[in-house]
Structure 1
Amino acid sequence: MKNLKTLLCALLLVGATACGRQSANTGEAEPEAPENLLYGINVDDYRTETGEVGNGETMGGILNRYGISALVVDRLDKASREVFPLRNIRAGHKYTAFIHEDSLYAPHLDWLVYETSVTDYVVFGFHDNDSVSVRKDCKQYTLRRTKKSAVINSSLWGAIMEQNLPYALAADLEDIYQWTVDFFGIQKGDSFTVIYDERFIDDTVSAGIGRIWGAKFIQSGKEFYAIPFRQGGKIQYWEADGGSLRKQLLKAPLKYSRISSRFTYARKHPIYKVYRPHTGVDYAAPKGTPIHAVADGVVIFKGWGGGGGNTLKIKHAGNLQTGYLHLSRFAKGISKGSRVSQGQLIGYVGSTGASTGPHLDYRIWKNGTPIDPLKIPSEPAEPISKENRALFEFVRDRIIAELNGDVKPEERITQLDSLQLPAATAVSAAPATEEKKSEK
């Protein structure tokens, strides 16, 4: 019976969450989990106190207030380095102390739980013989599948805030569509619909979002679908026709900015007051805004570019070259000859050289000739393979049906691993395949 109880308690501690548990023990084993749990601890056995980490406060200082000696704090510091370094605590984060009183009513701290986020926490244990333990875990949460639509009035972030949607949706949608949707060309009336999992603690407290199960973004009347599907060992997002949303070049090398000047052969220079070519696109952004490589390549120039200030140039496949001008500084590890990957941090927005304010002057050359970065075509990555086509179309049709209307819960795609076509679909597809073979 005891073994069965132990098994049930272990399952309760693990819960239905997607987080893993890390721990480091140098003393007693943790107690079996009883029914009335808080952070996996029997709250009925303790008096609890909660507080928030103050500005400049350390874990050692908090523990000293509860009677934990400097020697034990040092032992805990060493035990927790691989799980959660004590120096990583931050002001404003909540902690809970679990205190028991001995026969003389003297208080003793057995556990102190520090919340690293809304969902995650670390349990520091203090046991007999001054032994310690450290356990990293997360609260149990439920996933609620949600579908939301919004019309954009100013920007994607503005629409997210106006509709009181999770802020993480904006970042995730920008990541998914960064090769396809021109977020600097957003117009009033553009819209999106997205299906996603939202995490809830105690069914009431929102704790972020999980997987995005599908999206439809409408820009200037054109629909861009995002269908999740696993190919090549990882889940990626695909267009409705099976083409990859991932392209050879990112749409832009930075986020959260605006276009202040476009590609032209006759722009009046804001400093020199003469008309001259401006064969690039200026993105106005705060100083220090991260800049990312738009494609894989090799750095061929890093240094002072005269009026361009701190300049970086990267050579890419297809006789393409990109330039990044007026940088405040270069990213760590970037030097001439360095190989960079698409999306890699390469520098930060600045106002060096002939510049009236912080911005990035972004340029592209093909075979040495400057071309408009906003008009360059970009080849997509490898599409859905022939052997995955039927299964992809099954997933696509269900996701699109859910995006465009209501579907029964049993008709939703709820997992992307070990997917198989329904028997009826597989059988009906077989004759068509044989016909195509016979036609050849």
Structure 2
Amino acid sequence: MKKYLNISKKVRVGLAVLVGILVLFLIFRPKPRMNDSLDEVEVTDSVEVKEIVCKYGIPVDHYDISYGIVQPNQNLSYILGDHGLSSADIHELNEKAKGVFDVRKIRSGQAYAVFTVPDSTRRVRFFVYEETPKTYVVFDLRGERRVYRGENPVEWKQKEIKGKVESSLWMAMQKLDTSPQLALVLSNIYGWSIDFFSLQKEDEFRVIYEQECVEGKELDNFHILAASFRYSDSIYYAIPFVQDGEELYYGATGNSLEGAFLKAPLDFYRITSRFSNSRFHPVLRRYRAHHGVDYAAPTGTPVYAIGNGKVIAKGFQANGGGNFLKIRHNSVYVTTYMHLSRFAKGIKVGSEVKQKEVIGYVGSTGLSTGPHLDFRVFENGKPINPLLIKSQPKKPISPDNMSQFVVLRDSLINRLSAIN
């Protein structure tokens, strides 16, 4: 019993000591400052994190950069030599560039940048040539030297416009502070529905589109998300829809806006010469461009208009196409038919012709060695290969896709109507 009392006494003494220590701690503990927050942690040893800014994928803080424009008659050797590179260095870069970039294609008017070491040596470490607003070529002069391509980050900005035609769609775009190239995109989409050469004053258009941008600079690349055009008291819609893996533009009823051409302007033929930028001319005996297709056929073979259109030129070229016709099919396509033996009865400038209507007959007039048709196609004023134009009409929206198309169509038409 006495032993038990001694143990209890020791426990009570120990507890009293612990309580005393706790009281002393509470009394003399450091008091928090008024600005201290219980949620903040004070960092006593930290490294400041600095954002690395790059241009062409190169850290700009590490170098001095000078920008320039390639001048007429300047080449890579001239520019690099002007920045202190030796002939041996330039030759090595030319070798490294093989298979990556043809240094002979550096063009005047293009921008470039030179990255140099920021010390007394001013040694060049990178030369960057801007091939396009989106792509560039880097000549890396460090170590083993290398040449590689890069691309600037691209973003697409969505925009909406509404305007009226006063003189032309081109001028209307300029008045809206929009690139006139957008007018060309619209004419390609509506080319089979609207004659952009006969627009009337007050014809109205509304467009929702995306425009490609690089580093804040707007490029002339567009994607039309929806459009409407009030022309000749009718409204023509352009609704993009993906069907069978291909995005096309459709009208409100689901028919494709893209028309069709005949595959060839005559029934019986043999192709004797194709589209070429360098063909040996059988009469002139020298090489020159031949931006058409020659169809050999007997004299008198009927020649058809490959699509509906209007005759805009008819004449004779003694040292060229002989008897020829030009037909404008829409605001995009013009076709030319040359070396005709004669024209179809009643054909004259201003004549409206239908697809597969006879407009003339095969002959050998002008510079020709035998009866044939020299057939040419121009797209927006530029010659294209006639064998590559689309000759079949696109299918309308299928019954299986119609409900999905109607939902999209109604949504986009509402958006177009809301444009102020």
Q: Do these two structures clear the TM 0.5 threshold for a shared fold by scoring above it?
A: yes
Provide closer, same or farther for how the CA distance between residues 51 and 144 of structure 1 changes in structure 2, counting only shifts above 3 A. Answer: same
| Aligned match of 2:90 | 73
String of CA shifts for 1:186-227, please: whole Å, max 9, x gaps: 111112111111234455x32334321011111111111111
- Structural mapping, 1:20-169, within 5 Å: 35-100=52-117, 105-129=120-144, 131-138=145-152, 140-169=153-182
String of CA shifts for 1:335-364, please: whole Å, max 9, x gaps: 95899999599959xxxxxxxxxxxxxxxx
Q: Secondary structure at the match of 1:128?
A: coil
String of CA shifts for 1:268-310, please: whole Å, max 9, x gaps: x999xxxxxxx97777xxxxxx96559xxxxxx75366899xx
**Counterpart amino acid of 1:303?**
H
Give the paired residue count.
295
Provide closer, same or farther for how the CA distance between residues 235 and 293 of structure 1 changes in structure 2, counting only shifts above 3 A. Answer: farther
Q: Secondary structure at the match of 2:125?
A: strand
> What is the rounded CA distance, in whole Å, between the counterparts of 2:189 and 2:92 in structure 1?
45
Deviation at 1:94, TM superposition (A): 1.6
CA contact (8 A) 2:165 2:200 kept: yes
Is residue 223 of structure 1 aligned with residue 235 of structure 2? yes
String of CA shifts for 1:13-58, please: whole Å, max 9, x gaps: xxxxxxxxxxxxxxxxxxxxx7111121101111111111111111
Provide closer, same or farther for how the CA distance between residues 62 and 158 of structure 1 changes in structure 2, counting only shifts above 3 A. Answer: same
> What is the rounded CA distance, in whole Å, between the counterparts of 1:324 and 1:225 in structure 2?
39
Q: Secondary structure at the match of 2:104?
A: helix
User: Which runs of 5 or more structure 1 residues have no equivalent in the other structure?
Assistant: 1-33, 251-261, 272-278, 284-289, 295-300, 309-316, 349-377, 408-440
> What is the rounded CA distance, in whole Å, between the counterparts of 2:357 and 2:165 in structure 1?
34
Q: Secondary structure at the match of 1:111?
A: strand
Provide closer, same or farther for how the CA distance between residues 164 and 127 of structure 1 changes in structure 2, counting only shifts above 3 A. Answer: same
CA RMSD of aligned residues (A): 4.4
| Aligned match of 1:371 | none
| Aligned match of 2:339 | 303
CA contact (8 A) 1:119 1:207 kept: no
CA contact (8 A) 2:130 2:137 kept: yes
> What is the rounded CA distance, in whole Å, between the counterparts of 2:244 and 2:82 in structure 1?
54
> What is the rounded CA distance, in whole Å, between the counterparts of 1:127 and 1:379 in structure 2?
55
| Aligned match of 2:413 | 400
String of CA shifts for 1:287-334, please: whole Å, max 9, x gaps: xxx96559xxxxxx75366899xxxxxxxx974556799xxx99xxxx
Q: Secondary structure at the match of 1:164?
A: coil
Q: What TM-score do the two structures reach when normalised by structure 1?
A: 0.57
| Aligned match of 2:277 | none
- Structural mapping, 1:274-313, within 5 Å: 292-293=334-335, 302-303=338-339
> What is the rounded CA distance, in whole Å, between the counterparts of 2:227 and 2:88 in structure 1?
54
Q: Secondary structure at the match of 2:408?
A: helix
**Counterpart amino acid of 2:252?**
A
CA contact (8 A) 1:177 1:245 kept: yes
> What is the rounded CA distance, in whole Å, between the counterparts of 2:411 and 2:133 in structure 1?
33
| Aligned match of 1:199 | 212
Q: Secondary structure at the match of 2:117?
A: strand
Deviation at 1:398, TM superposition (A): 1.4
> What is the rounded CA distance, in whole Å, between the counterparts of 1:96 and 1:162 in structure 2?
35
- Structural mapping, 1:353-368, within 5 Å: none
Is residue 238 of structure 1 aligned with residue 255 of structure 2? no
Q: What TM-score do the two structures reach when normalised by structure 2?
A: 0.59
- Structural mapping, 1:329-408, within 5 Å: 381-405=394-418
**Counterpart amino acid of 1:382?**
K
User: Which runs of 5 or more structure 2 residues have no equivalent in the other structure?
Assistant: 1-50, 263-309, 317-323, 345-353, 385-390
Provide closer, same or farther for how the CA distance between residues 174 and 117 of structure 1 changes in structure 2, counting only shifts above 3 A. Answer: same
Q: Secondary structure at the match of 2:260?
A: coil
CA contact (8 A) 2:326 2:334 kept: no
String of CA shifts for 1:372-412, please: whole Å, max 9, x gaps: xxxxxx995311112211221122111111111169xxxxx
> What is the rounded CA distance, in whole Å, between the counterparts of 1:54 and 1:324 in structure 2?
52
Q: Secondary structure at the match of 1:170?
A: helix
